[in-house]
Structure formats: C-alpha cells, structure tokens
Amino acid sequence: MAQTGPEKESKMATAEVHLSMADRARDRPADLAPESCMICTEDLWKSYDMGAEQVHALRGINLRIQRNEYVAIMGPSGSGKSTLMNLIGCLDSPSKGQYWLNGQQVAELDDDELARIRNKEIGFVFQTFNLLARATSLHNVELPLIYAGVASEERTNRAKQALASVGMENRMTHKPNELSGGQRQRVAIARALVNKPAIILADEPTGNLDSQTGNEIMALFDRLHSEGNTIVLVTHEHDIAEYAHRIVYIKDGVVAKDEVRR
C-alpha cells in the first residue's frame, strides 16, 4: 500500500535525523587521524615504581583535541589530570602508548626537538605564574624569545605586542612584586603567547586569584580562543571548567566522561 503524505514525510524526517547523526559520528574527534589533530593520545599510560608496588597514574588515555578547540581537563586531586598535563606539555614521557602533538609523534623526537617544542609549540600558564622576581614584565615575556635566539630588537617588539594584547602595556617596566596577582597572570599569559604557540596549556590559571580577577583572566582566555588559539585548561573547579567548550573528566587515571558543551 502506498504511503500517505504525512507517513512519508515522517519516515523521511527520521532518515534525515539518522543521516545527521551518522555525519556527526564521522566528524567526532575520536575518528580523526592522529596526524590531523592538535593533540592525540592512544592508550597512554604512566606508571611509577613505589618500592615493590607499581602505581598507575594514567591507565590508557585516549584523547583527541582538534585545532582551535577550548578544552578543560577536570578531575579531583589524584585523578591523573596533572600527570596528563605533563605528558601533553612534553614535560614527562609516558610509560607506554603514543602521543602526537600537532602532527608529530613525540616519542620520535630527540631532546633538542623536545626543547624546541616546549619553547615554541606550547605556551605554558601556571597557577604560580613562574615569573622571574628581579626581571621586569618586558624581560619576563622576552625569555622564550631569548631561548629561541630571536634578535634583540625583534624580541623587544614582539614582547611589547604580547603585553599590549593582554592589557599590560602600561606595566612593562614593573617587576612581579609591583603587580597584583591578576596582573602577574596577564604577564604570564603574554609570555605564553609571545612565540605564537600551537597550543596554550594552562594549569589551574586562576588558583591563586580572587573570584573577580579569576573571571577577568577567564574572559581573556575566551578572547584568545576566539582569535584562533587552541586552549587546554587543567582545573578541579567546576565554574572555571565551564568556560571551556568541552570538558574531559579524568578519574582514577582514565577518561570518565567527555562532554561537548557548545
């Protein structure tokens, strides 16, 4: 028997929904080739020998982050999120598994190449700011460029531009003890940006700030993401994680949940 108009339209709509779901499934980060992602980990483990016992901080993490994503990695103390951050930042090596950063398989890189990646490919922002106490804001921001061998005039110009981009153009000659906590973090963010890295990796960036200043720093991350930066934020605070567009929950060394928010 021929289908009526409403019945036919209903089946067509259902088919379109199924097709749309299939399209979205094919587009999920988990289905992308490792070389096409900004960050890709496959079966990533990190274990430590504690006397006769072996402790597994990470237990086979599979994670794909695309370019220009804004991702929060969240979990309680001891969950493995800081260990994962250290591996993503090439500050440590996995016990087993594979890791690609911006299309490069990290295990194949030598020490010099890893140092270059930490200096140029990744911009680090830490909870404790990690600024040189006796150096001005300008000199603190210049440091990655000094390590990269950039000529004096160029690195000064680039450091000034980075400070201006975070609203610190009037504090270039100030030392950290002459700045508020929020201003110090802005200097640290300028330092992270100065080499135009592929990824900004922020570890509890508002942990030492009051709520209002923390909100201002997170608004700055929002702006940086809108300008095309890939941001990975490590935090244990729900309200901070909610600024991200995707939240990866780590528990007991595994991905417990991977939630796309918007």
Note the pLDDT tens digit of each residue in 112-153: 999 999 999 999 999 999 999 999 999 999 999 999 999 999
Which pTM value belongs to this model? 0.83
CATH architecture label of 67-92+112-260 = 3-Layer(aba) Sandwich (3.40)
Cβ 29 vs Cβ 189: under 8 Å? no
Q: How far is it, in rounded angstroms, from Cα 49 to Cα 63? A: 25
Note the pLDDT tens digit of each residue in 173-230: 999 999 999 999 999 999 999 999 989 999 999 999 999 999 999 999 999 999 999 9
In the three-class reduction of DSSP (H, G, I as helix; E, B as strand; rest coil), residue 223 is classed as helix
Cβ 189 vs Cβ 166: under 8 Å? yes
Q: What pLDDT, on a 0 to 100 scale, did the predictor assign at position 19?
A: 35
Q: Can you read off the two tokens belonging to residue 58?
A: 């990470």
Q: How far is it, in rounded angstroms, from Cα 195 to Cα 239? A: 29
**Which pLDDT band, with edges at 50, 70 and 90, does 22 fall under?**
very low
